[in-house]
Structure 1
Amino acid sequence: IDLRSLRAFRVFRIFRALKLIRYNRALHRFHVAAGIVKEEIILFFIVTGILIFLSASGMYFFENEAQPETFSSIFHSLWWAIVTLTTVGYGDVFPITLGGKIFTFFVLIVGIGVVTVPAGLVATALGKARKIEDEEKAKLRIG
């Protein structure tokens, strides 16, 4: 019998490592915080996906005639949209028309929110998780 195929079950060791969340307060707090903002984060990613598509479409509209090799389709414009909305801005693809530059300005302003909103959501959730943890400790002391 060849037992080498059983090596695939090593992946399940990850689940043992995840059990450590119970024993580490910071990891437990993060787990609670993730549960608190789960719906908001999902909604945020849906909105971000829509923003990426709208940004790529807009850039295609403004820049396709001036740069047909760079913005040859909405799909090719997705790279620019993702890099711009995440405020990375590699500089490899950029607008040259006035309309494209003005559009990019607004996309960059929206991109600041794309970066900061999840940070605020997670920070607020971690604060709530800490408050929940403190309330549970207080109940244990009293009870």
Structure 2
Amino acid sequence: MYYFEHEAQPEAFQSVFHSLWWAVATLTTVGYGDVYPITAGGRIFTALVLFVGLGIVAIPAGMVATALSRARTIEDDAQKPE
């Protein structure tokens, strides 16, 4: 992010570490809202990172939910009297 945004926003993205902190705050919360990408490269890079982050969370969460649902169904079927 630093390489995309430093020229346009030198006070917000002062170093690679400032950019890393922005990324951590953005990916783990909804961000602060005061710093956001304004260049086309920064916006595209942010979108790609957010989709990857969402995929890392959403796909395993869906798999776990499906497995728990199947386990619950098997458990319920085993407890029904015949």
- TM-score normalized with structure 1 length: 0.42
Structure with more helix by fraction: 1
In 2, Cα distance between equivalents of 1:113 and 1:86: 14
Number of residue pairs the alignment of both structures matches:
82
Distance 1:117 1:74, change over 3 A: farther
Q: Please, which of 31, 40, 43 is the counterpart of residue 101 of structure 1?
A: 43
% identical equivalent positions: 67
In 2, Cα distance between equivalents of 1:69 and 1:92: 12
1:134 matched to 2:76? The reply is: yes
- TM-score normalized with structure 2 length: 0.64
- Whichever residue aligns with residue 67 of structure 1, its letter is Q
TM-superposed CA distance for 1:115, in Å, is 4.6
Structure 1 gaps of 5+ residues are 1-58
TM-superposed CA distance for 1:109, in Å, is 3.1
Distance 1:124 1:135, change over 3 A: same
Distance 1:82 1:117, change over 3 A: farther
Larger radius of gyration: 1
- Whichever residue aligns with residue 75 of structure 1, its letter is F
Residue 61 of structure 2 corresponds to: 119
Higher relative contact order (CA 8 A, sep 6+): 1
Partner of 1:71: helix, strand, or coil?
coil
Residue 18 of structure 2 corresponds to: 76
Distance 1:83 1:114, change over 3 A: farther
